Structure 1
Amino acid sequence: MNQPIVGYHLDEYSDWVADLACGHGQHVRHHPPFFSRPWVLTQEGRTRQIGQLLFCKRCHEPDLSPPGA
């Protein structure tokens, strides 16, 4: 399910995580040739991506937590 980017934060390894409108996060790394996201390297680039849609894997996956948890 596509969700808009609403912000960013750094994880414990100093990798950028996009904060999505659904409340989940998704890493946005620039590691060519696997991931080409040079915009993540600058504040200006990240700011320009606010509102852009990313596929949220966690919204797409079925809830595997036990009932009542």
Structure 2
Amino acid sequence: MPRQILGFERDAAGEWIVRLDCGHRRHVRHRPPLSDYPWLADAAAREARVGAAIECGRCGRGELPAGAAEYRTTATFDEATLPAGLRRDHTIRAGSWGRVEVLEGRLRFVMPPLAVDRELAAGEHAIIPPEVPHHVEPLGAVRMRVVFLRAPGPDA
């Protein structure tokens, strides 16, 4: 899942970490032939990479960024009140994450770009990264809601 580089920092061992717009941080190492990032050694070249895209495996696995905090929850929907917009592909805005929670019944959760197509039962949830198309389909009687979360700012 490509994400935008916001900046760089070093860990305690002096290894480079990129801060990404999704809220994740990712180690980046220049170790050819496994990883080829020669620009890490030059401050100006690193700075020129701010705004560029780099892969975020954590987004691809649906992992929330550390410290993500809830800021809003939708109403509880059932199979009759589930909005049409949630039944067709849509995205969550940049900087926000979602957690689909099934309170009762069963729900199909589909996220095509990440090859996710799974059935969620009562008590289960699915994580939605920012800007990734997804939709839900009720599988009979269901009660569900969506919780929205924000990752800490880039300086946190």
Coarse TM-score class (shorter-chain normalised): 0.7 to 0.9
After TM superposition, the structure 1 = structure 2 runs for residues 38-49 of structure 1, keeping only pairs within 5 Å, are 38-49=38-49
1:30-56 superposed Cα distances (whole Å, 9 cap, x missing partner): 112221111011111100111111111
CA distance in 1, matches of 2:17, 2:28: 6
Name the larger-Rg structure. Answer: 2
Q: Structure 1 runs of 4+ off > 2 angstroms?
A: none
Question: Aligned Cα RMSD in Å?
Answer: 1.7
Aligned residues: 65
Partner of 1:24: 24
Whose strand fraction is larger, Structure 1's or Structure 2's?
2
Residue matched to 1:15:
15
Unpaired stretches in structure 2, ≥5 consecutive residues: 65-124, 126-156
Aligned match of 1:50:
50
Identity of aligned residues (%): 35
Higher helix share: 1
Deviations 1:9-40 (A, max 9, x none): 10111000110001101111111222111101
Q: TM-score, normalised by structure 1?
A: 0.83
